[in-house]
Structure 1
Amino acid sequence: MSFHSFKVKNIQGKEIDLSAYKGKVVLAVNVASKCGFTSQYESLEAIYKKYKDKGFVIIGFPANNFGSQEPGSNDQIAEFCKLNYGVSFDMMSKISVKGDDKHEVYKFLTESGSEKGDVKWNFEKFLIGKDGSIIGRYGSSVKPDSKELTSAIEQSL
């Protein structure tokens, strides 16, 4: 079982097989539009642009699990991300990242690897290797363009 074992719907509702990301380094992030960390969209987009030609992708997973900070529809979320932050990385349909209705991809992310446990807040980041294994997990307060995270990305590429 790996990150590549799952299927999700993108923000337009089309089914995406995560095996399409084999051979790429992926940063999976649970995102929200009305959070104190929402400005991280800006640095997420910046690191995506910096590393995308080297085989790096970001996948945003909108989730409304924390303080109802992602109340909008998929269309509203997509529009917000594009208009406010110019998001061009992949965005998936809104899912649940914790609780009884936790999406299976987040079950894998939170129950595998060396750092198990529920997602604690919006903008928690999982770095996934080219083989679909979890390389690292970074809390909400770790900025996407931090040396800690960009070094791990560079080493994984």
Structure 2
Amino acid sequence: MTKLTDLPVRLADGTTGDLSAYAGKVLLIVNTASKCGFTPQYEGLEELYRDYKDRGFEVLAFPCNQFGAQEPGDAAEIANFCSLTYDVSFPVMAKIDVNGDDADPIFKHLKKEKSGLLGSAIKWNFTKFLVDRDGKVVSRHAPTTKPEQLRKEIEALLG
């Protein structure tokens, strides 16, 4: 069985790596967009990251333009927006697809492990997946779930 930390990841600079650098950490993986009604959640994601990063927590953002074309920018524009608007310090990866034939392997894995209420497809920006230290996908949260609503679950996983 494929482990999440073995999967390839496209980094914002265009290179490819894998998630092995995040092995043993609690992860919150989110598909993001800069021009979405949920975009202000970047602020809550950053707050979670700053509060818990020293305890082995990471937020990984994956920009996606599949929903209402709400992430039209290139990697530099996205990084600039995240930094200047929300002071984001967690990793923002390369823009990817989360659904369809070209869906990123990470999101294929996440969707297989945790289906949503209406099936496995991602329905909109800011769908969130919480992954434990062993790489197990423990929960999936709708875009309407605010980052701060995940605190108790994150704290339980951090121990």
Which of the five TM-score ranges fits, normalised by the shorter chain? over 0.9
- Between the two proteins, the alignment pairs up a number of residues equal to 155
Query: Match of 1:119?
Result: 122
Would you say 1:58 and 2:65 are equivalent positions?
A: no
Deviant stretches of 4+, over 3 Å: 113-116
Query: Match of 1:48?
Result: 49
Any unmatched runs of 5+ in structure 2? none
Q: CA deviation at 1:130?
A: 0.8
Would you say 1:141 and 2:157 are equivalent positions?
A: no
**CA distance in structure 2 between the aligned counterparts of 1:118 and 1:28, rounded to whole angstroms:** 15
User: Counterpart amino acid of 2:126?
Assistant: F
Query: Match of 2:80?
Result: 79
Any unmatched runs of 5+ in structure 1? none
1:126-154 per-position Cα deviation (integer Å, ceiling 9, x unaligned): 001111110110000000011xx111100
Would you say 1:130 and 2:136 are equivalent positions?
A: no
Query: Match of 2:4?
Result: 3
TM-score (norm 1): 0.95
- Taking only the aligned residue pairs, the percentage that are identical comes to 48
CA contact (8 A) 1:3 1:128 kept: no
Give the alignment's Cα RMSD to 1 decimal. 1.1
Q: CA deviation at 1:2?
A: 2.2
TM-score (norm 2): 0.94
User: Counterpart amino acid of 1:126?
Assistant: F
Q: CA deviation at 1:95?
A: 0.3
